[in-house]
Chain A
Amino acid sequence: MTAVAQRVRTRNRTRLRGFLLALPPVLVIAFFIGLPVIAAIAYTFGYSGGINSVVAALAQKQHLVDGAAPTFDAYREVLGDSSFRTDLLVTVIVTIVTVVLVMVLSWAIALYARFSRGVLAKLVTALAVVPMFIPVVIASYAILTFYSTDGFTRTLFHLLGWEDSPALAYKMTGVTVGQVWTHLPFGVLLISSGLSSVPDTLIDAARDAGASMSRAVRAVMIPMAALPTIIVATFTGIGVLGSFTVPYLIGPNAPNMLGVSMAQYYQSFNQAQQAVVMAVVVFVLAAGIGYFYVRANAKSARGSGRL
């Protein structure tokens, strides 16, 4: 036996051991998540047998197949429906706007806390993290009453003489405020910890070499905090895409975000198949966002020699 073959065998054995160690969680995930996902996707293509038979016996307006060939009618119906397309558009816009706002706000707060170590900076950071400890339902109700037509902001403007100030409640702007509210703490925590791990010496070196403050931020801090930034962006995006409570409580009756539409189709309209089709659309969008997360992680792992 050559030394090379020996090494290959040892490596294979290590790999097998690693795989077996990971096997229990993999099996659990495959059984409790993978299988239902596959069954649900099969249901959208009209397969109603096996574990789909119960839901297929109850739902209405289904597009089912008898043979092996899948049907795309459920997709055709949902994607062809103008109110679904409006809901999808609204969902995408709210997601993009929220991600941008969360990024800008958390970077601003994190930078401020990184450079100014005063009491005010600490207070702002702490305040930005507070929403993490408030349940989303309570927060949504609070936001709703705060911005409603008889709420705090309107009352204040009314006292100042502005009679028809806008009410944000029951509008997508209010939903966006709620989304930023709920996702900001995570962004602030992650980015400020990313920024605090940038050594002062690096920034000082850049400044000594003649870089302006904004140049130092752009050339040193942003690249070094790239991974937390991408994590915040992707997690916020995925979280907003699938959110239910905030748009359900703060949003208008229609159009609203897809999380609310899915619940309506599933519970109120008894159209489980259409609800799952919407879920698949959200899943595809989220997978698209997830791709950036995985790529950034792989890049960082390669950079540190773990891959």
Chain B
Amino acid sequence: MFKRTIPLTALALALLTACGGNGGTASGGDNSFTLYVSGDVNVRDLYQKTLIPGFEKANAGVKVNLVFSEHGQNDTSMLNRLGASVKTDSEPPFDIMDAGAVKNAARGQFVDVLTAQKIPNLSKIDQKMLDPVDSRAMPYRGSSVVLAYDSTKVTAPPKTMAELIDWIKANPGKFTYNSPNTGGSGDAFMNTVLTMHMDPASAEKASQAYDKNVETQWKAGLDVLKSLTPMVYQRVYPNGNQEVINLLSKGEIAMAPVWSDQILAAKDSGLIKDNIKLTQIADPPFTGSLTYIGLAANSTHKDAAYKWFNYVLEKEPQAEIVRKMAGYPVISPSELPAELQDKFTGLDTTEFRQGFETQTDSDAKEAWQKNVP
């Protein structure tokens, strides 16, 4: 009897593992590596049509395997698999990670410290961008949150955050931002209102390291956010960045914070018409964010992977990031072709304000959820 049951059990286990294994593991020879990338279709296109072909052309013989996860659905499970593989010293599920979760991986020390010895182009990057992740991850593109407004309805857009809040109160139902836990543009709006009411030193600290003490200064900002709830469109905060852009394109709202790359891409595709204009506000400006990539600490293909890190900071891929997805370059814009330098008129691409550090940001989202809606 046992003879018959044990193979059956083994078969069932094997089948289940086979089903679960669609994530792919880092495999192949020394001249290949696996990229785990999460994001929207624009990110997938950037990799499949631009970065990977360009890299393989520049580095003949190196093969890139792409594992793409739409909207980062697999981020948490990939992060856990990476953590488990580091702890058990086994093969990681990927070599390079491009996902929001890479910052958590840096905190858990599941990704390696990157140095300019291994990646010469790393010296092109401002050290300030590497500090929040202890140099365990490297930014390769950026985007910031900007204020989009309908120029047929708004002739004089607000210039400062205080003016924006006044405008929202004076025009009920014409403004909205997505709930911070569903997308970065709403998160940036929340961050900006909270930062307005913090002293500058604490605000600076909150973007660098986790310190619960600064959170006591959020009370005033949360009260302002709460007072805006009856003023936003339909008195309910939409889910996700895209939903806000849809409301803008339908003309339901006249103003909203949006991601620069998403709105510029929507303009290119025609979803957003020319009546929607972009501007950045001041005192304080909306935050921007950098997209980081990290190298699995236990990767067995590090040499090939370093070539990727170096490649994405070259002039050509950086220019392509600007052209193809309206992303901000992380190297100095003066290195880019002249025709790309005026693409972001009115928007500051080099000096944008950093958002809260990851854990602080999680706490801010929780505070928003409990106090604002």
Q: Which residues of A contact B (CB under 8 A)?
A: 17, 20, 23-25, 27-28, 31-32, 53-55, 57-58, 60-61, 83, 148-150, 170, 248-249, 252-254, 264-271
B1 part of interface (Cβ distance < 8 Å): yes
Q: Which residue of B lies closest to A22 (CB)?
A: B5
Contact digits for B104-132, partner A, Cβ 8 Å, 1 yes 0 no: 10011000000000000000000000000
* B107:A270 contact, CB within 8 angstroms: no
* B16:A252 contact, CB within 8 angstroms: no
* A104: min CB distance to chain B, Å: 30
B13 part of interface (Cβ distance < 8 Å): yes
Question: A20-B1, A23-B9, A253-B369 are known contacts. Are A248 and B83 too (CB-CB below 8 A)?
Answer: no
Of B12, B236, B365, most A-chain CB atoms within 10 Å = B236
* A269:B1 contact, CB within 8 angstroms: no
* B100: min CB distance to chain A, Å: 10
Chain A residues near B5 (CB-CB < 8 A): 20, 23-24
Complexed CA–CA distance, A58 and B80 (Å)? 9
User: Which of A28, A266, A270 contacts B9, CB < 8 Å?
Assistant: A28
* B108:A58 contact, CB within 8 angstroms: yes
Complexed CA–CA distance, A202 and B6 (Å)? 51
318-373 of chain B: CB within 8 A of chain A: 358-359, 362-363, 365-366, 369-370, 372-373
* A271:B8 contact, CB within 8 angstroms: no
Contact digits for B232-269, partner A, Cβ 8 Å, 1 yes 0 no: 00111101000000000000100000000000000000
Ordered by A's residue number, 5 sampled pairs between the chains whose C-beta atoms are within 8 Å are A53-B87, A54-B108, A253-B179, A254-B373, A267-B181
Complexed CA–CA distance, A85 and B370 (Å)? 12
* A249:B83 contact, CB within 8 angstroms: no
Chain A residues near B182 (CB-CB < 8 A): 268
Q: Which residues of B contact A (CB under 8 A)?
A: 1-2, 5, 8-9, 12-13, 16, 76, 79-80, 83-84, 87, 104, 107-108, 179-182, 210, 234-237, 239, 252, 358-359, 362-363, 365-366, 369-370, 372-373
**4 closest A-B pairs by CB:** A253-B373, A268-B181, A54-B83, A270-B362
* B369:A264 contact, CB within 8 angstroms: yes
Question: A58-B108, A269-B363, A270-B359 are known contacts. Are A28 and B13 too (CB-CB below 8 A)?
Answer: yes
The binding surface of chain A is classed by DSSP as helix
Q: Which residue of B lies closest to A55 (CB)?
A: B80
* A60:B359 contact, CB within 8 angstroms: yes
Complexed CA–CA distance, A149 and B104 (Å)? 40
Complexed CA–CA distance, A32 and B12 (Å)? 11
* B234:A148 contact, CB within 8 angstroms: yes
Taking A32-B16, A269-B365 as given, write out 15 further A-B residue pairs in contact, using a Cβ cutoff of 8 Å, ordered by the A residue number.
Answer: A23-B5, A27-B9, A28-B12, A54-B80, A54-B83, A54-B87, A58-B79, A58-B83, A148-B234, A170-B236, A252-B373, A253-B372, A269-B363, A270-B359, A271-B366
* B211: min CB distance to chain A, Å: 13
Q: Which residue of A lies closest to B370 (CB)?
A: A83
Complexed CA–CA distance, A272 and B20 (Å)? 22
Complexed CA–CA distance, A254 and B239 (Å)? 13
Chain B residues near A32 (CB-CB < 8 A): 16
Complexed CA–CA distance, A87 and B210 (Å)? 28
* B181:A24 contact, CB within 8 angstroms: no
Q: Which residue of A lies closest to B235 (CB)?
A: A170
Q: Which residue of B lies closest to A251 (CB)?
A: B236
Chain B residues near A58 (CB-CB < 8 A): 79-80, 83, 104, 107-108
Chain A residues near B369 (CB-CB < 8 A): 83, 253-254, 264, 268-269
User: Which of B12, B16, B362, B372 contacts A268, CB < 8 Å?
Assistant: B362
* B183: min CB distance to chain A, Å: 10
Complexed CA–CA distance, A83 and B2 (Å)? 53
Of A27, A53, A54, A55, most B-chain CB atoms within 10 Å = A54
* B8: min CB distance to chain A, Å: 5
Complexed CA–CA distance, A149 and B370 (Å)? 25
Chain A residues near B84 (CB-CB < 8 A): 54
* B278: min CB distance to chain A, Å: 26
* B12:A24 contact, CB within 8 angstroms: yes
* A4: min CB distance to chain B, Å: 25
Question: A252-B236, A264-B181 are known contacts. Are A57 and B108 too (CB-CB below 8 A)?
Answer: yes
Chain B residues near A83 (CB-CB < 8 A): 369-370
Q: Which residue of B lies closest to A27 (CB)?
A: B9
User: Which of B80, B235, B239, B362 contacts A249, CB < 8 Å?
Assistant: B239
